[in-house]
Amino acid sequence: MPALPWSTRTTPDPEATYVVMGSKLPLQGYRFIPRFLAHSMRIRRQLARAEGLVGYALNARLTRKEFWTVSVWDSRDELQRFADTDPHAWIIRTKTRRMGQSKFVFWTCRGGDTPIQWDTVAEHLDPPVD
C-alpha cells in the first residue's frame, strides 16, 4: 500500500506557527495489518471533521509492519481534543495487544513549510546521534 498523500483540511497562513505531530506505529505481526487499516479509515473520517486540523498523511511501511503518521494542527489543545474523541480514543485504548512500542514526536512549523515531507518526519522520529 502506498503512502496516503498529504490531505489539506484548511489552508495554512504561510507565516503562522502550527503544531506538528509525527508518529511511528509498529504492529506485533502482519496479521494485524487489515484491522489497523480498517481503523485508519475510521480515523480518516474523524479527521475530516476535526477542528483545528491543517493537514495529515499516512505512510504504510508494510514490510516493516509499521505505519508513520504526520499531522499539522492550529494548536496542541485541538490535537488533544481530537485524540480524546472517539473513534480515535477508543481505538487507542484497545490497541495494546496488537502494537509494538509506538513513538510520538511534536514540533512546530510555519504554514509555508506544509505539507510536511516524510524525510522531515524521519529526522524527528529518529534524529541522528552525535
Residue 107 included in any domain: yes
Specify the pLDDT at position 12: 97
For residue 85, give its domain range: 4-124
For the segment 105-121, the average pLDDT, to the nearest whole number, is 97
| Model confidence band, residue 48 (pLDDT cutoffs 50, 70, 90) | very high
Residue 130 lies in a domain: no
- C-alpha dihedral, 114 to 109 to 92 to 60, nearest 10°: 40
Residue 32 domain-assigned (yes or no): yes
Position 85 scores a pLDDT of 95
Question: For residue 115, is it within any domain?
Answer: yes
- pTM equals 0.92
Q: What is the number of structural domains in the chain?
A: 1
Whether pLDDT at 1 is above 60 = no
User: Is residue 47 in a domain?
Assistant: yes
- What is the average pLDDT across 86-106? 89
Is 112 inside a domain boundary? yes
Rg for the chain, CA atoms, rounded: 14
For residue 73, the domain's CATH number is: 3.30.70.100
Residue 129 lies in a domain: no
